[in-house]
């Protein structure tokens, strides 16, 4: 694989990792206080409380699997903190699809990903280092992603800067189509199972429970990701925390499916920035690519 092909490979892997490694989309604070959030057994009120409780928990351990058409399938595990921008460390294993084939040409089946307030780092292994002065890590500054990739780059930047696991709760609240499926156990915990479907084309017309501005933000993010419809199943525990989610949707790249488990809310997360001597910047890699 020549340098140009390698650059294109690592750029595509960045986008895939952004979606699958963090296992969530960007979101913002839903606002509002605790008073009146729950009213008896009201379904929407219970979801609003789960939205707030999960957002306020600040950090968690995460295990996920994801597939996106023929593009990729992967498994991720680690811990993330979203209290003040995204921080954390994940191990991402490429299990199939075009992404796995491309990564195998770099001699790797898994990568370590580190998320810090201003940049995302990916360890690309020894084969990559042989072509880039012994450097194993790529640094993706969020501003560089936005500047070089236009609207899709802005979307990826938004994911990295604002990710929280309660995004899926917000989507159900915004959809206008949600039901309580029943009670079940998830890894030994008592949970309540909720399910709903989001139609992106109709999202703006729904009687949203989030308000017009936040509904518009969600719709824009989904459209940028190429998502047209999405089915969401959530399991909320007795502490009003999200412990499992399953999402299935149609995107521009095929069917997207992911399953995520959240545990150990409040866990300490302290990722370290890789040494500068072992890091090449994304902006420098871009200079290697021909125009267009």
User: How confident is the model at residue 161, as a pLDDT?
Assistant: 62
- pLDDT for res 225: 62
Q: Residue 34's pLDDT is what?
A: 37
**Structure confidence at residue 30 (pLDDT):** 37
Location of structure tokens 């954390």: 88
β-strand 137-141 against 178-186: which pairing, if any? unpaired
Residue 41 pLDDT:
46
- Computed on alpha carbons and rounded to an integer, the radius of gyration of the chain in Å comes to 19
Judge whether 234 and 248 are in contact, CB under 8 Å. no
Cα 263 to the center of its chain, rounded Å: 16
Q: Which among 155, 5, 19, 162 is positioned nearest to 92, based on CA atoms?
A: 19
Question: Which pLDDT score, from 0 to 100, does residue 3 have?
Answer: 56
Nearest Cα to Cα of residue 207 among 231, 165, 177, 247: 177
Q: Which residue has the tokens 């190429």?
A: 226
**Residue whose entry in the numeric block shows the structure tokens 């991720």:** 76
The pLDDT, as a whole number, for residue 256 is 82
Q: Give dist(CA 193, CA 14) in Å, integer.
A: 33
In a structure prediction context, what are the per-residue pLDDT tens digits for the chain, which is 292 residues long? Answer: 555 565 566 655 655 565 555 554 333 333 333 333 333 348 889 999 999 999 999 999 999 998 888 888 889 999 999 888 789 999 989 899 888 888 887 788 888 999 998 888 989 888 888 888 899 999 988 877 666 655 555 656 666 666 678 888 887 887 777 899 999 999 999 999 999 987 766 655 544 444 566 556 666 666 666 667 778 999 999 999 999 999 888 776 678 888 999 999 999 999 999 999 999 998 887 776 655 4
Could you tell me the two tokens for 152?
């899709």
């Amino acid at each position: 694989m020549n340098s140009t092909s390698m650059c294109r490979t690592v750029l595509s892997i960045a986008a895939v990792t952004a979606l699958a490694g963090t296992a969530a989309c960007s979101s913002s604070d839903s606002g509002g206080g605790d008073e009146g959030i729950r009213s008896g057994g009201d379904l929407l009120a219970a979801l609003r409380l789960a939205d707030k409780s999960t957002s306020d928990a600040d950090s968690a351990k995460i295990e996920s699997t994801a597939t996106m058409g023929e593009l990729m399938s992967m498994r991720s595990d680690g811990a993330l903190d979203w209290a003040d921008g995204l921080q954390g460390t994940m191990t991402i294993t490429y299990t199939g699809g075009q992404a796995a084939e491309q990564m195998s040409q770099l001699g790797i089946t898994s990568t370590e990903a580190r998320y810090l307030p201003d940049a995302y780092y990916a360890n690309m292994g020894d084969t990559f280092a042989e072509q880039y002065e012994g450097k194993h890590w790529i640094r993706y500054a969020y501003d560089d992603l936005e500047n070089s990739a236009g609207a899709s780059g802005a979307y990826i930047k938004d994911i990295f800067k604002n990710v929280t696991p309660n995004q899926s709760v917000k989507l159900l609240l915004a959809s206008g189509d949600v039901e309580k499926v029943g009670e079940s156990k998830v890894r030994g915990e008592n949970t309540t199972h909720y399910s709903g479907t989001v139609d992106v084309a109709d999202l703006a017309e729904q009687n949203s429970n989030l308000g017009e501005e936040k509904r518009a933000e969600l719709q824009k993010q989904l459209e940028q990701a190429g998502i047209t419809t999405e089915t969401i199943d959530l399991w909320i525990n007795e502490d009003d925390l999200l412990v499992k989610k399953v999402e299935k949707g149609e995107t521009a790249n095929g069917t997207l499916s992911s399953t995520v488990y959240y545990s150990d809310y409040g866990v300490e997360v302290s990722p370290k920035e890789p040494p500068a001597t072992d890091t090449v910047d994304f902006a420098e890699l871009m200079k290697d690519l021909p125009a267009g």
